[in-house]
Amino acid sequence: MKPRRPPPEQDDLLRARLVEMIDMRHELVKLASLIDWEVFEREWAGFFPSHTGRPATVTRLIAGLLYLQHAYALSDEAVVARWAENPYWQHFCGEAFFQHRLPINPSSMTRWRQRIGEEGVEWMLTQTIDAGKRAGAVKGNDLKRVTVDTTVMEKNIAHPTDARLYETARRKLVGLAREAGIGLRQNYNRLAPRLAGQVGRYAHARQFKRMRKALRRLKGYTGRVLRDIERQLDQVPEGALKARIVEMIVLVNRLLAQKPKDKKKLYSLHEPAVDCISKGKAHKRYEFGTKVSVAATNRGGFVVGMRALPGNPYDGHTLSEALEQVEILTDQRPDMAFVDRGYRGHGVENVNVFISGARRGVTRTIAKLLRRRSAIEPMIGHMKNDGRLTRCPLKGTEGDALFAVLCGCGHNIRMILRHLRAILCRLIWLLTRFHQINDAEMAAVGPLKIASRTA
């Protein structure tokens, strides 16, 4: 069923309201009043077409938890547990009284993400942009000048090596065969793990001839188990278990057939869509994950668009999609876009695109804006260190798309909170300075009054 509406506010004689317990000048309290929470109730209602069953959780609670989760880099379990301890978080999510129990089961956040999809989380990013406008963190002209760049969002997988992949494939096949009641001639449960460890030792000792020989034997173990299961696959009845076995057989066949220099290689059995991306970094030559396009305001670094790009496309071919997303989320087309040299040959004509290092047709003002293009690099670093962009725990390409947009939401929330905190500190400083000036004036006027009286 559709999400239920928040209960009407009623007084409780035994409990005090949250507004009486917290400091109303806190940045989270200010931010809660800047976000239009009714948008989620209106736009997410279409994702619940059924009219039967238990009503879903209140939309403001889910949206608030997702904002807090990516603003403070927490997992589903951690954000729900901390919500039960923090009155400011409860006020931010729409509670009137302090709650001592967990609001939802952490698994409910997974189901909500699957239900709302990429469209639903893009509404969350839109609301952070609108909240930034209301708070003054984003000016109107800032949205007309954007900087676009790409980065790699790594997947939550182990570093892929042939020995690890062969051993993982064999272990999964043996487990599925045991679950289906298939009797294997030999499962290599003792030989294969030892051999996989020995491959790593040979590589560390630079004994590559022995390493390749052990690797071929380990690959043979996996192939024998695979062919043994294929011969007995007809004995497994039709159902979900057989579908899982067939899916694993397809992946293992792909793994055993791939060559060292193939382009579309398999790097993980539980995440087949992972790409190997080389960004030219000295400390990390290859990254295994998904390329993400980041669009931010040229001044201020406020995220106005994020999108996962599976398949490792060329940067120049993704610029039109990135600018189209910016136009949809901000309701206005940017006038200028600043990119690096990796976007040469982009083919965008409806927006003025300036590439780093260009000299022709560049005025002094545009050259100044073009120098600010590199400011997006530390902004991406903050999203990886302070946020959760460094590693995506969600499954599949759909999980990559959701997680990328949510990381942009978390970055914007941190920017708005910092802006509101700076305003409060400035106000407190001005009040303190005002009182100091008044005290100094009173101290100077006091001796004059005494002298006039004595005269």
Q: What does the pLDDT profile of the chain (455 residues) look like in tens digits?
A: 778 777 777 677 678 889 999 999 999 999 999 999 999 999 998 888 888 888 888 999 999 999 999 999 999 999 999 999 999 999 999 999 999 999 999 999 999 999 999 999 999 999 999 999 999 999 878 999 999 999 999 999 999 999 999 999 999 999 999 999 999 999 999 999 999 999 999 999 999 999 999 999 999 999 999 999 999 999 999 999 999 999 999 999 999 999 988 888 999 999 999 999 987 777 888 999 999 999 999 998 999 999 999 999 999 999 999 999 999 999 999 999 999 998 998 888 889 999 988 777 678 888 898 999 999 999 999 999 999 999 999 999 999 999 999 999 999 999 999 999 999 898 888 888 887 887 777 777 665 555 555 55
Tally of CB atoms within 10 A around 419? 20
**Residue 53 contacts by C-beta under 8 Å, 6 or more apart in sequence?**
1
Which among 315, 263, 375 has a CA at the least distance from the CA of 152? 315
| Residue closest to 73 by CA, chosen among 452, 427, 409, 343 | 409
d(CA 406, CA 408): 5
Closest by Cα among 206, 213, 228, 224 to 162: 213
- 3 state SS for the chain: CCECCCCCCCCCCCCCEHHHCCCCCCHHHHHHHHCCCHHHHHHHHHHCCCCCCCCECCHHHHHHHHHHHHHCCCCHHHHHHHHCCCHHHHHHCCCCECCCCCCCCCHHHHHHHHHHHHHHHHHHHHHHHHHHHHHCCCCHHHHHEEEEEEEEEEECCCCCCHHHHHHHHHHHHHHHHHHHCCCCCCCCCCHHHHHHHHHHHHHHCCCHHHHHHHHHHHHHHHHHHHHHHHHCHHHCCCCHHHHHHHHHHHHHHHHHHCCCCCCCCCCCCCCCCCEEECCCCCCCCCEEEEEEEEEEECCCCCEEEEEEECCCCCHHHHHHHHHHHHHHHHCCCCCEEEECHHHCCCCCCCCEEEECCCCCCCCHHHHHHHHHHHHHHHHHHHHHHCCCCCEECCCHHHHHHHHHHHHHHHHHHHHHHHHHHHHHHHHHHHHHHHHHHHHHHHHHHHHHHHHHHHC
Q: Are residues 38 and 100 in contact, defined by beta-carbon separation less than 8 angstroms? A: no
The pairing of strands 336-339 and 275-277 is: unpaired
The answer to whether the beta carbons of residues 146 and 297 sit under 8 Å apart is yes
Locate 139 and state its tokens. Answer: 């000016």
Q: How far apart are CA 250 and CA 109, in angstroms?
A: 31
CB 31 within 8 A of CB 416: yes
The whole-number pLDDT of residue 345 equals: 87
Q: Where are the domains of the chain?
A: 18-142, 162-257, 275-393
Taking alpha carbons only, the member of 194, 191, 195, 187 closest to residue 226 is 187
Single pTM value for the model: 0.89
Q: What is the pLDDT of residues 115-137, one digit of tens each?
A: 999 999 999 999 999 999 999 99
